[in-house]
Structure 1
Amino acid sequence: MLNLIRRDFIIQKWQLLVFVLVILFFVLLGRQDPAFIFLLASVIIPINTIAYDEKAETNILLNSLPYTRSEIIASRYLGTIVFIILATGVTSVLLYVFDRNFSITDIAISSSLALLLLSFYLPMSYIIKPGYNFPIAFISFLLLAGIVPPIVSYLGENLTSVTDFLLNLSVPILYISALLLGFAIYATSWGITTIIYRRKAF
């Protein structure tokens, strides 16, 4: 299973450099919120991996190898977590080198959102017709990036009881709760995707 994760690194070795340059562009631009940059870095590689596999019809090859379908999906979900961790590390270094301020809050928010977005995207990638995954993911990301902040601001202003409750929580508890919720949804998505993949014909 580790070889499957390693395969994703190998097939994207040149594209990873392009991704780093894209993140560097946003860092140097200096206009985007650090949480947005972390989020972009976290989701772009997993989404590209699925898009590549879709074009190369990799699933046919993977199912001919001595791996169960559960192991293939497990490698996808574990690999995604590895990508998120590495992307967060690289982005942190770039932000630090170019003197862009960021905080643990930015990392916690972006990691939680990345887990949430990928929890919906990964199972959908095995349902959506081949060739439409990347465009749908790209459009969805832009829509969420534009819609979610205003919604959060609106809810924060109007649901004062919920806002007060959250503000009274200590920072560590708030971060841990957000990450645990993200992982819970991610684990549920993992189970759903495994069921979908087992029943899918290649």
Structure 2
Amino acid sequence: MVNLILKDILIQKNMLIIYIATIILYLLVSVSPVFIVFVYSIVFIMNAFSSDEKDNANILLNSLPYTRKEIVSSKYIGAFIFTGLFMCYTYLLDFLLNGQEVLVLWKEILLIMGLVMIAMSFILPISYQFKTKHLAIVSVTLFGIYMVMVNYFVPDFNNQVRALVQKFMAVQELQLYLIATVIIIILYTGSWLLSIRIYERKAF
């Protein structure tokens, strides 16, 4: 399974310069690191997923000594790894560019991981059932709406996101975090099992 995760990283090595450049641009205009890590983690995971749909790659994957359960599981486990890597990279760049302290609170880690897990809980089963090109169209559309909204309707949107994150960080009740964590884990596990079932029933 480790090789499957490494595969997802290697197939995007040519995209790394684009990731680096655009993350730097976002940080220079003071976009929240939480937002950056969330978006880029999703983009990275979905780019890796879409590559498996090209040129009958799924047929090749299923001819290798991996079970379908392992192929699906590599995506769900990889989501944690990719998010962690983007988190480290983004906060390090934020320190170098803006002089912000490289201090990631456990609440911030929970927030980012929770957002990614919630998003992937819905995206991955849909992608296994259908094609990622439909999600790509939706993603491009949402990005376009975001750019229009930020430039014309809600110019302080990034500040509002940052304020929302700060409110989350200010919550002191550990029970709320515990309940939210359990709910997200249950959702993610259910999505994981659903994706395995969908993929195992597919014919390539």
TM range (shorter): 0.7 to 0.9
- Work out the CA distance in 2 between the residues paired with 1:35 and 1:117: 14
Normalised by the length of structure 1, the TM-score is 0.77
- Work out the CA distance in 2 between the residues paired with 1:41 and 1:71: 24
CA RMSD of aligned residues (A): 3.0
- Work out the CA distance in 1 between the residues paired with 2:90 and 2:27: 8
User: Can you list the C-alpha shifts for 1:136-178, whole angstroms capped at 9, x where unaligned?
Assistant: 34446777998xxx9xx9xxxxxxxxxxxx9996355544544
User: Can you list the C-alpha shifts for 1:48-100, whole angstroms capped at 9, x where unaligned?
Assistant: 11122223332111011111111111111111111111111111111121224
Q: Which residue of 2 aligns with 1:120?
A: 122
Amino acid of the structure 2 residue aligned with 1:201: A
Normalised by the length of structure 2, the TM-score is 0.76
Q: Which residue of 2 aligns with 1:2?
A: 2
- Work out the CA distance in 1 between the residues paired with 2:8 and 2:65: 17
**Structure 1 contact 5–76 (Cα < 8 Å) conserved:** yes
Instruction: Please show how residues 122-141 of structure 1 align to structure 2 within 5 Å.
Output: 122-129=124-131, 131-139=133-141
- Work out the CA distance in 2 between the residues paired with 1:4 and 1:116: 22
- Work out the CA distance in 2 between the residues paired with 1:17 and 1:167: 32
- Work out the CA distance in 1 between the residues paired with 2:53 and 2:62: 14
Query: Aligned in 2, Cα 1:25/1:130: closer, same or farther, shift over 3 Å?
Result: closer
Q: Which residue of 2 aligns with 1:40?
A: 39
Structure 1, unmatched stretches of 5+, are 154-165
% identity of equivalent residues: 33
Instruction: Please show how residues 1-202 of structure 1 align to structure 2 within 5 Å.
Output: 1-30=1-30, 32-98=31-97, 99-100=99-100, 104=105, 105-129=107-131, 131-139=133-141, 170=172, 172-202=174-204
Query: Aligned in 2, Cα 1:132/1:169: closer, same or farther, shift over 3 Å?
Result: closer
4+ residue runs over 6 A deviation: 141-146, 166-169
- Work out the CA distance in 2 between the residues paired with 1:67 and 1:103: 36
**Structure 2 contact 73–192 (Cα < 8 Å) conserved:** yes
Structure 2, unmatched stretches of 5+, are 150-156, 161-167
